Amino acid sequence: MKHATFENELTVATHRERGTLAEFHQSFEDAVSTVEAELGASHPMWIDGDAHEADERFTVTSPADRTLEIGDFAAGTAADVDRAVGAATDAFDDWRRTHWSDRIELFRDAADRIRERKYELAATLTLENGKNRFEAMADVDEAIDFLRFYSRELERNDGYAFDTGEPTPGQHCTNSLKPFGVFGVIAPFNFPFAIFCGMLTGAVVTGNTAVAKPASATPLVAHKAVEILTEAGIPDGVVNLVTGGGSDVGQPLIEHEDVAGVVFTGSRAVGRNIRRTFFEREKSGPVIAELGGKNPVIVTANADLEKAVSGVKNGAFGFSGQKCSATSRVYVKETLFVEFTDRLVAETEELVIDNPREEDAFISPLIDDSALERYERICEMAREVGTVRTGGEVATSGELSNGRFVEPTVVTDVSHEHEIAREEHFVPFVTIHPVSDFGEAIEKANDSSYGLCAGLFSEDETEIETWFERIESGMCYVNREQSATTGALVQTQPFGGWKASGTTSKFAGGYWYLPQFMREQSRTVVSDVRRE
């Protein structure tokens, strides 16, 4: 197997290695002050290289503190979307004919600009979306990786053009991948910089033009992404930014007849709706969708419990479970069940709930009121049908009551069949289930419509092999103490899901990602003269 190298941007790990973490903390805290001083501004949309106002506006506040106004944003409508798609359509012809080497130069320049502004961007994420500083910087690092990796892939594949030879004398054949046209790019709130930039780069570096829509909770950091691309020299109309609600702006975008393809990351319900719309309108372009997960972890009789407890705790509660990859159900060999659960509960109770701008903060606030209601509803249900071993309450002490902070929650004594153990909740909530043997554990892990991430804790080679062989999951991690299911890196750990967790089973940050944004053209020229 060929091994290709790629250097990930690992800001925190690098500081840790060099013993300069204090510098990281200082730079981050300075950036929070700077960004905070600039909050509250009014932001238009960005169409054809120009600011574009809307009649209505919406206000975004910080999930960590509802009294902190992030900004005031244009609430777009179908008419604005139409204008943006028009601009992207007009820009397509020049952009698709811009040589791929010029396109990647622009994206590499943008990656350098993100690097220069990484503390500002991480601070923006902390304020706008509630990530603690480590998670926020990882989000920015991943965006840099996406821009650099996709640029490298286009280069490594020579812009995806191949000489396919002469089947008979005089017939000269070539094959290449070509862009489709205008892509709708629709992003979620939970990786509002990395996923926004990653999807946008996939669409645009390959020669498509784009109309991008960020989640309504996180438009500020998307504005910064578009600003950086503009400074790097992206031509007018190639990247357009529309803001507003999913049904006001997202729906008209996917329905627009001049939108050739959609790249989407978000919930299964919205993803399905996009697919259905494309099918009903007989659009032939792709719907590249990364959807939810209900990620299982197995702890076998041969597990190292310390690793398992740490991996499950970090996987379930990092960014308060608001990750598609969050650990959400754990199947533990019954003989270890009590010890595992006790230790997990004890370690979970040590996790610090604090404003994410503080150095000690681990648990983040929930993004919006509907997430908070969802948390309260499932905790109530868990108290009725099972046992809440720790957590289950909204955290309201002191200034936390200004935000949407909740306790990380561990639940036992619920059936694997119950909806609280089957549905994705996107809050810090994990159910632990005893199983009699490894076979039952694998069966239950696979008994889900999702297939995004899975974890195994076992020190036994045969069990590990069997698990890899049988687990129905895109991302598979063994004995991962840092996190049982979350935290993939671009290139080494391409990210995506099987089953209902995605529509293409080709992964972000991997080798097969870019070809999805293009269509194949097979060319034959009958002549004696070779074409350049």
**Which is nearer to ligand NAP, 176 or 251 (by Cβ)?**
251
What are the C-alpha distances in Å from 58 to residues 51, 76, 97, 216, 227?
17, 10, 38, 9, 20
**Which is nearer to ligand NAP, 232 or 291 (by Cβ)?**
291
- Give the residue among 526, 464, 516, 525 at the shortest CA–CA distance from 202: 516
Q: DSSP characters for 277-333?
A: HHHHTT--S-EEEE----EEEEE-TT--HHHHHHHHHHHHHGGGG-STT-EEEEEEE
The CA angle 402-132-244, to the nearest 5 degrees, is 65
Q: How far is the CB of 277 from ligand NAP (least distance, A)?
A: 8
**Which is nearer to ligand NAP, 270 or 400 (by Cβ)?**
270
- Give the residue among 187, 69, 196, 194 at the shortest CA–CA distance from 128: 69
**Which is nearer to ligand NAP, 104 or 210 (by Cβ)?**
210
Q: Is 324 a catalytic residue?
A: yes
The CA angle 476-321-414, to the nearest 5 degrees, is 85
Catalytic residue among 324, 407, 463, 472: 324
Q: How far is the CB of 142 from ligand NAP (least distance, A)?
A: 11
**Which is nearer to ligand NAP, 105 or 368 (by Cβ)?**
368
**Which is nearer to ligand NAP, 225 or 388 (by Cβ)?**
225
Cα(350)–Cα(337) distance, rounded to whole angstroms?
Answer: 20
Strand boundaries in 126-226, DSSP class E: 161-165, 171-179, 182-186, 209-213
**Which is nearer to ligand NAP, 186 or 234 (by Cβ)?**
186
Cα(148)–Cα(170) distance, rounded to whole angstroms?
Answer: 40
Q: How far is the CB of 54 from ligand NAP (least distance, A)?
A: 14
What are the C-alpha distances in Å from 115 to residues 160, 309, 388?
28, 34, 43
Residues at the interface with ligand NAP (CB under 6 A): 186-191, 195, 213, 215-216, 245-247, 250-251, 254, 265-267, 270, 273, 290-293, 324, 424, 426, 452, 495, 497, 501
Beta bridge partners of 411: 388, 431
Cβ neighbours for 506, distance < 8 A, ≥ 6 positions apart: 288, 496, 512, 513, 515, 516
Is the separation of the CB atoms in 372 and 366 below 8 Å? yes
Q: How far is the CB of 387 from ligand NAP (least distance, A)?
A: 26
Catalytic residue among 120, 290, 424, 472: 290
Q: How far is the CB of 477 from ligand NAP (least distance, A)?
A: 15
Beta bridge partners of 508: 495
Q: How far is the CB of 473 from ligand NAP (least distance, A)?
A: 12
Burial of 461 (C-beta count, 10 Å sphere; 0-12/13-18/19+): exposed
Q: How far is the CB of 349 from ligand NAP (least distance, A)?
A: 27
Name the DSSP class of 224. H
Could you give the residue numbers annotated as active site?
290, 324
